[in-house]
Chain A
Amino acid sequence: KQEVTQIPAALSVPEGENLVLNCSFTDSAIYNLQWFRQDPGKGLTSLLLIQSSQREQTSGRLNASLDKSSGRSTLYIAASQPGDSATYLCAGATSGTYKYIFGTGTRLKVLA
């Protein structure tokens, strides 16, 4: 059974720091991988999608990469801002399915 681990569970940093959030899967046969942001009491906002033929995606200050051989993904946030404070979740779908499995998230707080 696919399980997803996100490290660290919580992170508090001063504004301006560069950050790395980690996500690992017990089954490395990941087809699609997504990173999401969730603000308190809200739904999820998609940040980046890495499809089966890709290894990384970039959007603004965010970069996500996927190492399929190890079943690990990282989300890099450059020059963090207080507005980046949220919970970040990763989710992966294994080959041939639309079924996504989610990690428990990393709760990020960026201090002004």
Chain B
Amino acid sequence: DGGITQSPKYLFRKEGQNVTLSCEQNLNHDAMYWYRQDPGQGLRLIYYSQIVNDFQKGDIAEGYSVSREKKESFPLTVTSAQKNPTAFYLCASTDSRQPQHFGDGTRLSIL
């Protein structure tokens, strides 16, 4: 079955630590996205990529970094510069005429 796999499901970060969230898709979609969701809030766009080796900042990119070396993969690194990283992180993918498909999310907390 085609879909998006996010791992891990739960992640804990220590002070000063960088952590990387994985997102893999087998839908052959060109575009991939990372969103952040805080309790009771909608989704805010962190980064998105429309094609391999290219990505753009979303509305809240500070303290985050991404790479897109393969079409299937779009990992997100939460750096120590992100002072309030506790949130639910969602990865999505699409093509221009397809609905956005979402993974099951990664919940990041501070130790």
A residues engaging B (CB < 8 A)?
4, 6, 34, 36, 41-46, 49, 51, 89, 91, 98-105
A-B contact pairs, 10 of them (CB 8 A): A36-B102, A43-B102, A44-B100, A46-B102, A99-B56, A100-B100, A102-B42, A102-B44, A104-B42, A105-B42
B75 within 8 A of partner (CB): no
A43 touches B105 (CB 8 A): yes
CA distance A51 to B97 in the complex (A): 7
B23 to chain A, nearest CB (A): 11
B residues engaging A (CB < 8 A)?
6, 31, 33, 35, 40-45, 48, 50, 56, 58, 88, 90, 92, 94, 96-105, 107
B100 touches A91 (CB 8 A): yes
Give the interface SS of chain A, mostly helix, strand, loop or mixed.
strand
CA distance A6 to B50 in the complex (A): 27
Q: Apart from A6-B42, A51-B97, what are 10 other A-B pairs with CB-CB below 8 Å?
A: A4-B42, A41-B105, A41-B107, A43-B103, A46-B99, A99-B45, A99-B58, A100-B100, A102-B35, A104-B41
A57 to chain B, nearest CB (A): 10
